[in-house]
Each structure stands twice: as C-alpha cells, then as structure tokens.
C-alpha cells in the first residue's frame, strides 16, 4: 500500500522541489555562474526524479541529491575537455577568476570572499562549501563526493589556509593603497 | 611541553567533528594558549565569511529577458512535439468513432461521397463532428484527386445551400497538392475562381512551407488569386481540429 501511495502521490516531489535553493547556493559556490548553476540544479532535479526509486533513506535526500549534482558538475567539467587526467584535476584546477580585490564593507567582503573561493581548486571548493554552507559532516561530504574522509580533511585544511592567505593579501593591499574619496 | 595542534584538528573542532571530551580538552588548552585561540578564531571568522558570501547568491535565470539556453529550447521543442503527436493521435483515434457515427446516422456529410472505397478519411477532435466546419486536405498532384477535392467541396457547399445552412469550408493544399493552387500549373484555376465567387465562406489555403520548398528548388511559384497562405499546412490542420473542424483527406 505504501508503495502504491508513494507511486501515486509522489511524496518525494515536494522534497526535491524544496531543495532547489540549497542546491542552487551550492552550485553557485562551485561554479560562480548563475546560469550554469541553475542548469546544474535543473539537471540534478530531473535526474533525482527519474532515479527516485534508488533512494532508500528519505532522510538522506539532500546528500543524495548533492551527490547527483556532483556527478553533473564533473560531467560538465569533462565536457569542457580542459584537462586530460581526471584523477588529480580536483587538486590543481583553479578558476580563471581574478584575485580577490580589496574589501572593506559588506558587499566588498562578499565579492572578495567569492573571488577567493573561486580561486580555490575545484575539489577544495566543493569540500569547503559543503562543510561551511550546509554543515555536512566530513563523513557525509566523503559520501557525496565519493572520496575518503582523510581527503576531505586535507582538502578542507588546504582550502581554508589558501583562503586565509588570499584574504590577508587582499586586506594588506587595501591597507597599503591610499583611499580616494569623493567630497562634495 | 605543548604539542602542536594541526590545522586539520582545529578544522575538525570548529566543524563539530570532535566529541565532547575532545572538545573540552581543546577548549581548556585554548585558555592557556593565546596563539591556539587566535588560530581557532581565524578559522571561525573564515567560516562566517564564507557563509555570508553565499547567503544570497545572485538571481538565477539572468537570461530570462534574452535567449533561453539551448537545453531549454530543446526541451520546449520536445514538449511541443509531444503535444502535436497527442493531437494527431487523438484525431486518428476519434476518426474511427466518427466514421461509425457518420455511417450509422443520417448526416449532411456523406461518409463515402464517391463510393464505399473513395479513399476519404474523416477526422475530428470533437466527438460530434460539426458539419458546418470542414477542411479538405490534398497533398497529391494526381488530376483525379484535384477534381475530387473540388467536386467534394462543391457538393458540401451546394448541400448546405439547399438546406439553408451556413458552412465554412477550407481546401488545404500542400506538397504536390500545391499544384491545385498554382497559377499556370493548376488545370482548375478558372473553376477555383468561380467557386470562390459563388461561395464567400470557401477558402483555399496553400502551405507556405511547400511554397518555400518549391521556390528553393528554383521553381517560379505563383498562387491563384483565390488562395491564401498558411505558415504550414500541418499547423493549419491542427489549429482547425482544435477549433472543432472536421478533417477530410482526399
């Protein structure tokens, strides 16, 4: 009966729909491109709906969908064919975005941190955003990205170290630059 | 002697990976170790900044006012094709029901106007065919079919006139059937002009796509004055079917 009800009413559908903002935030933090992020989310939701029968534990819906999105993201990166060896790209491929600029107010801090995160190698970026934005445990992140927990820890550590250095440099640059203000 | 606490351990601490005993031990140590406390503070600060940076990601669908991505376009095309297919299938399914109904009951539209094997196929998306809205479709340049479609049109029009009914009738020509409406090619251009004069509700519709295709092949295409052009014959047929018209393929 449960199976029939589940088939007829599709209880997963609202759950999948409700996760759209979460997926989009993570997708955007991975690619920093609103259009691409939205496409990734759409593809993830479509695949999740098609494969909904594979989900055994309803409580794991978010992690399961993020795992699907990770595969969509990897497929997208592979389709760009910008690297030959897929084994170590996660540790070396960096975004082409500019270095974080000097930041002082709220909007500048946001732009500055996003620029710094975008500079991180993709593997580090994924771990950092999953842990910081969605507060997943290391074990859950390992499951989502299909990597060992030790790799999660080392990537996270390197990500935060790099982030700290980039933001320190940006802050120093800001302090060294004379500030020009327009006075009316 | 103090042992060095690795960055990985501090990360695990701020991320809640430590159990209660481990956490308490580290907190106790931070009270005496200012540098350790500063490192933990820096990590927490970084974490807060990352959270702040993605609290409100920019709006998706920035292309809304512009052109949709290709993927979206393909999806829309697929949905459009499915709707078209469903419409055509529905028409063909109802066709059999309609034929039976028309054959069983007396009607103003003979089921087989030129005999039992006249080759006519009547389709309507509505269960009760509207005898006042009929389209005749021709896609062949065979002289016999051209004559038949005009004969059939005149029969419907005359019948309606005799019974004092209003009737809307469209002759739709595409593919090789376009010859019926081509000036200088159609053997019936004069008859078509006369029919159009006699019956204001009669329309001759040429498929724009077929016209373009013939022109693309280098042919000079001029339609008879009575003919109008629709973007495609299929779109015209589908639109009319949705409006309750009865479709007859000659």
Give me the interface pTM, i.e. the ipTM.
Answer: 0.81
The one-character DSSP state at A165 is H
| Phi/psi at B241 (5° precision) | -60, -40
| Phi/psi at B141 (5° precision) | -95, 10
- Residues with Cβ within 8 Å of residue A176, at least 6 apart in sequence: none
Question: If you measure CA to CA, which chain B residue comes closest to A117?
Answer: B50
- Residues with Cβ within 8 Å of residue B241, at least 6 apart in sequence: B87, B91, B123, B124, B125, B247
A113–B50 CB contact, under 8 Å: yes
Question: If you measure CA to CA, which chain B residue comes closest to A137?
Answer: B17
- Could you tell me if B181 and B222 are in contact, meaning their C-beta atoms sit under 8 angstroms apart? no
Considering only CB atoms, B7 lies closest to which of A39, A110, A157, namely A157
Mutation target for A interface from B8, B19, B38: give the one with most A CBs within 10 A.
B8
Burial (CB < 10 A; 0-12, 13-18, 19+), residue A83, is middle
Residue with tokens 């996760």: A19
Considering only CB atoms, A113 lies closest to which of B12, B15, B53, namely B53
Condensed to tens digits (0 to 9), the pLDDT of residues B207-226 reads: 888 888 888 888 889 999 98
Residues with pLDDT less than 70, chain B = 1-2, 61-77, 79-81, 83, 87, 89-129
Model pTM score = 0.52
CA angle (B115 as vertex; B114, B118 as ends), nearest 5: 70
B15–A161 CB contact, under 8 Å: no
- Residues with Cβ within 8 Å of residue A128, at least 6 apart in sequence: A117, A120, A155, A156, A159, A160, A163, B50
A134, two tokens: 């969605």
Considering only CB atoms, A138 lies closest to which of B17, B54, B71, namely B17
Three-state SS for A30? helix
- Could you tell me if B170 and B133 are in contact, meaning their C-beta atoms sit under 8 angstroms apart? no
How would you classify the pairing of strands B246-249 and B133-138? parallel
Distance CA A54, CA A3 (A): 13
Condensed to tens digits (0 to 9), the pLDDT of residues B111-145 reads: 444 443 445 556 655 555 677 889 999 988 888 88
B53–A114 CB contact, under 8 Å: yes
């Amino acid at each position: 009966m449960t199976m029939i009800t589940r088939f007829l009413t599709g209880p997963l559908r609202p759950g999948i729909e409700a996760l759209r903002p979460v997926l989009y935030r993570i997708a955007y933090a991975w690619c920093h491109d609103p259009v691409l992020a939205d496409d990734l989310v759409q593809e993830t939701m479509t695949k999740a709906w098609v494969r909904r029968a594979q989900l055994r534990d309803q409580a794991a819906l978010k992690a399961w969908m993020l795992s699907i999105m990770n595969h969509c993201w990897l497929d997208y990166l592979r389709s760009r064919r910008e690297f030959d060896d897929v084994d170590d790209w996660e540790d070396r491929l960096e975004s082409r975005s500019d270095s974080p600029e000097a930041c002082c107010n709220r909007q500048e801090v946001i732009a500055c941190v996003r620029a710094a995160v975008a500079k991180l190698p993709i593997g580090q970026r994924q771990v950092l955003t999953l842990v910081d934005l969605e507060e997943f445990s290391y074990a859950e992140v390992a499951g989502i990205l299909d990597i060992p927990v030790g790799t999660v820890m080392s990537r996270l550590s390197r990500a935060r170290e790099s982030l700290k250095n980039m933001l320190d440099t940006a802050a120093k640059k800001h302090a060294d630059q004379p500030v020009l203000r327009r006075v009316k | 002697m103090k042992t060095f606490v690795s960055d990985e351990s501090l990360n695990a601490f701020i991320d809640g990976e430590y159990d209660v005993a481990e956490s308490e031990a580290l907190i106790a140590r931070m009270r005496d170790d200012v540098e350790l406390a500063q490192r933990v503070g820096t990590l927490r600060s970084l974490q807060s900044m990352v959270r702040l940076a993605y609290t409100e990601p920019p709006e998706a669908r920035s292309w809304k006012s512009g052109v949709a991505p290709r993927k979206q376009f393909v999806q829309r095309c697929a949905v459009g094709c499915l709707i078209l297919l469903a419409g055509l299938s529905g028409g063909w399914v109802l066709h059999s029901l309609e034929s039976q109904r028309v054959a069983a009951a007396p009607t103003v539209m003979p089921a087989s106007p030129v005999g039992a094997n006249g080759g006519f196929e009547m389709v309507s998306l509505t269960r009760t065919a509207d005898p006042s809205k009929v389209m005749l479709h021709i896609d062949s340049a065979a002289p016999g079919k051209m004559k038949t479609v005009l004969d059939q049109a005149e029969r419907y029009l005359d019948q309606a006139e005799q019974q004092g009914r209003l009737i809307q009738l469209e002759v739709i020509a595409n593919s090789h059937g376009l010859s019926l409406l081509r000036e200088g090619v159609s053997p019936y251009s004069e008859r078509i002009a006369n029919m159009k004069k006699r019956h204001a509700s009669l329309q001759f519709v040429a498929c724009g796509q077929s016209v373009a295709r013939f022109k693309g092949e280098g042919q000079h295409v001029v339609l008879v004055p009575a003919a109008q052009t629709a973007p495609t014959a299929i779109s015209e047929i589908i639109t009319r079917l949705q409006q309750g018209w009865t479709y007859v393929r000659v």
